[in-house]
Amino acid sequence: MTFPALIDWLDDRLNPIVVKELRQAVKSRLVVSILMLFLGIQLFLLGVFIVKREAQGDMGADRNAGNEAFIIQQIILLWTIAIIIPAYAAVRLLAERSDQNVDLMFSSTLSPGSIIWGKFFATLLLGMLVFSTCAPFMTFTYLLRGIDIPTILFSLGMDLLVMLFNIMFALFLASLAGNLILKLIYCFIGFIFLVVLTVWLSAASYALTEGFGFLDTVIEYWPVTLSFIAGVLAFMGLFYSYAVAIISPPTSNRMFPVRLFLMGLVVVSLAGAVISSYTVTPDAQTIPIILFQFIVMPILCFQIWISICEREQIGPRVRRAIPRNFLLRPFAFLLYTGSAGGILFSVLLIGGSLAICSLWLTTMAYTSPTVIGRSEDSAWFALLIHGLMALYVYCYGQTAVLIRRYLLSNQIRPGYTWVIAGLLVGIGTTIPPMFAYFALSDQVRYSNEVGWWLIPNPFISYMDLLWDGPRRGFTFKDFDLMCLWFLLTWATLVTLLSLPWFGQQIRGFYPPRPKPDDDNEELAALILLEADPEPEPKMGVQG
């Protein structure tokens, strides 16, 4: 391939969003002014410390000047690339997803994934301009003494990782659907989280440069550091898949990449937790399994609430992608867009993960009882906590589906099922305690135990197990068993009542029938006989 041909090939592969954003940024005087401002700040700070050092002389020179100069530059750079740059990306995407410009996004030939990646890389390159302006001056502080090169490089690497995560999280916030007020609320809450994260990272940067042994700990426990970096990248992939699903057209198979990513995330993270448990010290073998549950299980529970709001009727665009092979169709039903398939997918992942964790604990307790020791109790306790969490989410979510389907099918669309589920949670957390307060006032006032009237409250049950469990030595009590039996009975009941709803969507999941061909009517008749003879069921209001 000649050089001009290579240039043409690269030109065809460039993302148009990146080209457009960078051209606008280069032509804008604002970007040039910001870069010149940062360059001036860096020159001013280093100039002040150099002049101060020269004025003090060799005898009175501050041997910690490099550390002081670096931490000031680090705070400025961190807050810029962790807050201002992601805010710029969110504002740009919010403007294009407004009511005036949303048609431009749907009429584009670019895929939703290309749009998100284009926005991400364009913002990342702008952030790298700021980073490349500050990084050389931050490295120069080594000559002022008080800081070493590994600390500088680690801090800069942490800044890059934070910028990557915050940009993708900001694009996810800007992709959320809703009117302008809801979008502003989403973004405000999200950026409060980013501000808290940046404050914590600023404190970590100060501890790193002050020599509190933070860097030595990171290097010594490098598998934990690599696992943390992998977790950050995994969350970036999760936010990317959610953002792509949100901006995709409603008629597309928008949940397929999300579920595919979630399945890979669960498999890889669970395998990594099991493998890591054999590489750590014997007294910490259950820590990877516990961390897996506390990180992955809330994501899968949240996926159940997303699935109850999905559409129940399959459109022609999704139906054309359904495999005609009958053996592959059950897997497609779990991965493709659809409320019933999404709920089954999430329940199977949760159940499979808990089953594998319990099997691993049972095997380790049988083969190495002295190695597992007391940490086994905390691992089983974590299994109970997340099992109850999954049961609460499933019971409230599926009950909301039944109420909407049989009582409010003409008033509420499937996309607002989460509102009914939220109201049910509010009723379950307020009505039973109020009834117990008036009917059993003495028992409520003078009893030190958690009563039965708090069983429908998922927050009380979860916090009671999470905080009170270590205090009582990870031992189960009557309230825990009451919650478990209550939720198992409730889950069984709503599942039996939902079987017609599940069956209707399963029967309606088949590829489109081929149209008869006038040139070969006999072959067309045979194909039609092999297809599903049942008519397409009426699924109700489309979500």
User: Quick one: DSSP state of residue 283?
Assistant: G
**Domain end (from 220, 248, 276):** 248
Same domain, residue pair 74 and 95: yes
Phi/psi region, residue 225 (left: phi>0; alpha: psi -120 to 50; beta: rest), is alpha
Measured CA to CA, the distance from residue 347 to residue 355 in angstroms comes to: 12
pLDDT tens sequence across 420-448: 999 999 898 888 878 777 776 665 555 55
**Domain end (from 213, 248, 283):** 248
373 located within any domain: yes
* Host domain of residue 503: 253-534+539-543
pLDDT tens sequence across 16-54: 777 777 777 777 777 777 778 888 888 887 787 777 766
Contact 542, 311 (CB under 8 A): yes
Amino acid 375: pLDDT: 62
359: its two tokens: 């099997």
Same domain, residue pair 266 and 409: yes
Same domain, residue pair 201 and 331: no
Residue from 500, 505, 501 nearest 314 by CA: 505
* pLDDT > 90? residue 107: no
Same domain, residue pair 151 and 62: yes
Q: Among 10-14, 178-182, 297-301, which is the least confidently predicted range?
A: 10-14
24 located within any domain: yes
Higher pLDDT, 258 or 472: 258
* pLDDT > 90? residue 278: no
Half-sphere exposure of 197 (CA within 13 A, CB side): 18
512 located within any domain: yes
Measured CA to CA, the distance from residue 460 to residue 473 in angstroms comes to: 19
5 located within any domain: no
Return the amino acid letter for 512: P
3 located within any domain: no
pLDDT tens sequence across 318-351: 888 888 888 888 888 899 888 889 999 999 999 9
Backbone angles phi, psi at 533, to 5 degrees: -75, -15
Same domain, residue pair 324 and 409: yes
Query: Which of 210-214, 271-275, 529-533 reaches the highest mean pLDDT?
Result: 271-275
203 located within any domain: yes
Measured CA to CA, the distance from residue 266 to residue 272 in angstroms comes to: 10
Higher pLDDT, 62 or 433: 433
Amino acid 54: pLDDT: 66
- Confidence band (pLDDT; 50, 70, 90) for 493? very high
Residue from 170, 23, 6, 143 nearest 87 by CA: 170
Measured CA to CA, the distance from residue 415 to residue 281 in angstroms comes to: 48
Find tokens 């805010």 and name the residue: 87
472 located within any domain: yes
Measured CA to CA, the distance from residue 478 to residue 484 in angstroms comes to: 10
DSSP assignments along 101-153, one per residue: THHHHHTSSS-HHHHHHHHHHHHHHHHHHHHHHHHHHHHHGGGGSS--HHHHH
Higher pLDDT, 118 or 8: 118
Measured CA to CA, the distance from residue 451 to residue 447 in angstroms comes to: 8
Structural domain count of the chain: 2
User: Quick one: DSSP state of residue 81?
Assistant: I
Same domain, residue pair 150 and 64: yes
**Domain end (from 203, 229, 248):** 248
Same domain, residue pair 348 and 403: yes
437 located within any domain: yes
Same domain, residue pair 208 and 244: yes
Helix (H) or strand (E) holding 438: helix 417-439
* pLDDT > 80? residue 371: no
Q: How far is CA 81 from the centre of its chain?
A: 21
Same domain, residue pair 232 and 273: no
Query: Measured between alpha carbons, how far apart are the two ends of the chain, in Å?
Result: 50
Same domain, residue pair 278 and 241: no
Same domain, residue pair 235 and 162: yes
Compute how many other C-beta atoms are within 10 angstroms of the C-beta atom of residue 327.
7
- Confidence band (pLDDT; 50, 70, 90) for 311? confident
Q: How far is CA 30 from CA 33, 128, 221, 378, in A?
A: 5, 16, 43, 54
Measured CA to CA, the distance from residue 309 to residue 257 in angstroms comes to: 17
Same domain, residue pair 228 and 289: no
| Overall average pLDDT of the 299-304 stretch | 92
Q: pTM of the predicted model, to two decimals?
A: 0.82
Q: How far is CA 197 from the centre of its chain?
A: 16
Find tokens 């307060």 and name the residue: 437
* pLDDT > 60? residue 406: yes
- Confidence band (pLDDT; 50, 70, 90) for 496? very high
